[in-house]
Copies of this chain bind each other. A is one copy, B any other.
Amino acid sequence: MGRSGHNPEREAGSPTFSPSAELPPLSPDDLGVLRRLGARWQVGEAVRTLPVDPQAGEIRSSGVGAAGRPAMLFVRDGAGQLTVTPTAERQDTAEGRAVGGLRRLLLGRPLTSESILRERMPKFIALPVLASDLLSSVAYGPEAMLVVLVLAGSGALGLSLPIAAALVVLMIAVGTSYRQTVYAYPHGAGSYLVASDSLGPRAGLAAAAGLTLDYVLTVSVSVSAGVAAITSALPSLAPYSVPFALAVIGVLLTGNLRGIRVAGNVFAAPTYLFLAAVLGLIAAGFVRAAAGGFAVVAPPPIPAAEGLSLLVVLRAFASGATSMTGIEAVSNAVPVFRPTEWRNARTVLTWMVGILIVLFAGLTLLIHFNGLVPRADQTLLSQLARLTFPTGPWYAIIQVATALVLLLAANTAFNDLPRLLYFMARDGYVPRRFLHLGDRLALSNGLIALAVAAAVILVAFGGRTHSLIPLYAVGVFLAFTLSQIGMVNHWRHHRAPGWRRRASINGVGAALSAVVLVTAAVTKFTAGAWVVVLAVPLLIFMFGRVRRHYDHVQDALGLHPATGTDRRLAPAEEEPPAVVPQQVRHLFLVPVARLNQAALRTLAYVGSLGRPALALHVSPERGEADRFRTQWATWGDHIPLETILSPHRVIIQPLAAYASALRLSHPDLTLTVVVPDVVVDHPWQRLLHYRTEQRLRRALRRHPGIVVTSMPTHLAR
């Protein structure tokens, strides 16, 4: 068995998904405070005397369901536990039913929390789902390398073999490193968790920022490239490429919202098709090369645009390294494997890297043997396929499979980014709603956020792949580097048997990744990498601000101040104030504009609570104030009335000022402002009312100790 992460907090919360992650348990300290506060609670028995039977066996709606009787809303089991039925999950309106029906059609029936364990992938499904990003990279990786080398003339193309060899070493080093990560973090841990654990939170956030950008760009780039492949084959679709790409993102989103197993089934076949097609191409190419005695065809002479320098070699290396994007997918996704997860994940990772090396090395060699050079009108893969299969359906199959696998590469990001956001949300660096498991057990909010961000970037760049490519890969190699430095620290910290060997493997990977990172950031800076270089610190800043807010909330709301940050450790503040009923002193305020049924119902509601109450009337003129007091006396003057003359006819602000001044001069009081509110049938009718309730609520929102209630009166239909 591998060892898990070593931060005590992180060990307490499991790194697998839990539907209860949004509701973490209380600490023993918290429970102690809770017990002490509860002991001071004094309240009459009236509070516990319910006018309803809380143990009713089932709760039905008023409407008539399908079986001719009211629809069941909740059922109670033998243990007394009430459970929601699907009827109570949606609004009981025609609109609510229509939305519910559409959801079910697109996403399938909701899955219960108990189904979570069954939503796992066998290895033969996990491989294509997680590998599409990595393997599709070979469609452009070797070409990206040669495009740089050819700048130094066709004579420099021979350098592709040593650079490719270095890249294969890099692939083996990074792949081995991630094998070790899967082993060290058997519950799944991507670069974020590894870097956080071993290098501290800021390194983790840097890795997370890099990965976040890279996932979003993976979707934008892969979808636009895949759509471009399709529109190249069918040029009549070209004007619709942006809407088409948005539709593809929509399909990917829908598929992933349905849940990961379904997503796997849908997406496995095309990856296998691509794999078979490219392996067939390589096999046929080598047979053909062997028939020619492995003779190397000389490339066509191309003049050098610049001299051959170390910079050119490094840029070629960095560009070729885009073949490796997606290699981290498995280590992030360990929890989606069937048990034993880490073992299955490691097997799949090994296969993926092995296949990548075969494809990358095979294609690079064949390109070299055949003397192919990058051309503007045709990809190298396409040139090679045409040369190897001049006739027959093979060329078309390879092109179609390439287009499909590029579209599916985007799916890896849909698997990984929501998972990353989940872990970050648990640590409080992104909104906690990314913890929420949707009704199909998918991390719906993360999926939707990714789809929206990718769609915005795609539209902003007009769906042009070449504009997006320079932004790509900086983020992912930042994460690789931090993750592998983190693994070095991890081994040095634990000093388990063989730690030196492991640490040195990770060290080599880290060094090579760092070279790629720096090379990519420097050589592509003006071409667009500056966006990423700026965005990473910005994201880190935002993560920090979110965390600071959650810490602040924890300070303010936590039962035990010390569980938050350590700002308020004074013992006097250990027991929070005013959380027992006998401390609450009430005053109810009722703003009344005119004496109609809504006002009288509100006054009756307040009167029935038997607590001190004061009615307020804002009057534009003295005459109106006098008239209102006369009406009040006619009614019987049952509640004290204060009329406020507002000579400039302002209504909301004086009410708010009165309430807040009252509260500030009597800080022991809890003021409850009860506003009569007319509930209209149609939204347009809101224009016909003053919306006093909403405006007063907004004006009083920033004042503590003031509760705002609206007493709704519904218009009879």
Contact = CB atoms under 8 A, between A and B. Distances in A.
A74 B556 CA distance: 34
A611 interface: yes
Contacts of A433: 690
A559 interface: yes
A38 B638 contact: yes
A49 interface: yes
A706 to B, nearest CB: 7
Interface string A636-677: 101110111111111001101110111011100110100000
B639 A48 contact: yes
Contacts of A578: 601, 604
A648 B84 CA distance: 9
B555 A634 contact: no
Contact of A658 (B59, B583, B623, B640): B59
A584 B699 CA distance: 29
A622 interface: yes
A611 B84 contact: no
A38 B646 CA distance: 28
A575 B283 CA distance: 92
B583 A23 contact: no
Nearest to A599: B557
Given A34-B631, A587-B51, A653-B91, A62 B623 contact: no
B84 A645 contact: yes
B647 A84 contact: yes
B43 A608 contact: yes
Contacts of A151: none
A704 interface: yes
A92 interface: yes
Q: Which of A50, A51, A86 lies at the interface centre, i.e. has the most chain B CB atoms within 10 A of its CB?
A: A51
A258 interface: no
A624 interface: yes
Contacts of A610: 43-44, 46-47, 610
A602 to B, nearest CB: 9
Contact of A653 (B34, B89, B708): B89
B639 A60 contact: no
B635 A52 contact: no
A518 interface: no
Interface in A703-717: 704, 706-716
A596 interface: yes
Contacts of A54: 614, 640, 642
Nearest to A582: B608
Contacts of A437: 620, 649
B685 A549 contact: yes
Given A88-B658, A557-B713, A583-B604, A611 B653 contact: no
Nearest to A86: B648
B620 A431 contact: no
A45 to B, nearest CB: 10
A117 to B, nearest CB: 12
A557 B35 CA distance: 48
A81 interface: yes
Contacts of A347: none
B587 A39 contact: no
A614 B56 CA distance: 14
A62 B439 CA distance: 49
Contacts of A622: 81
A541 interface: no
A379 to B, nearest CB: 42
A389 B414 CA distance: 79
A172 interface: no
Given A38-B636, A596-B558, A605-B670, A649 B707 contact: no
A11 interface: no
A496 interface: no
Given A557-B596, A648-B89, A612 B50 contact: yes
Interface string A546-586: 10011011011111000000000000000010111111111
Contacts of A87: 657
A567 to B, nearest CB: 10
A37 interface: yes
A442 to B, nearest CB: 11
Q: Which of A113, A587, A640, A679 lies at the interface centre, i.e. has the most chain B CB atoms within 10 A of its CB?
A: A113
A447 to B, nearest CB: 15
B596 A559 contact: yes
Given A47-B639, A638-B43, A643-B82, A658 B74 contact: yes
Given A439-B648, A639-B47, A553 B715 contact: yes
A104 to B, nearest CB: 12
Given A50-B640, A438-B649, A597-B557, A81 B625 contact: yes
B595 A113 contact: no
Given A61-B657, A627-B25, A82 B645 contact: yes
Contacts of A69: none
Nearest to A44: B610
Contacts of A586: 608-609
12 contacts: A23-B594, A24-B594, A43-B610, A47-B607, A52-B665, A81-B625, A84-B645, A110-B648, A439-B649, A549-B688, A579-B600, A579-B604
Closest 4 CB pairs of A and B: A38-B636, A581-B607, A112-B647, A584-B608
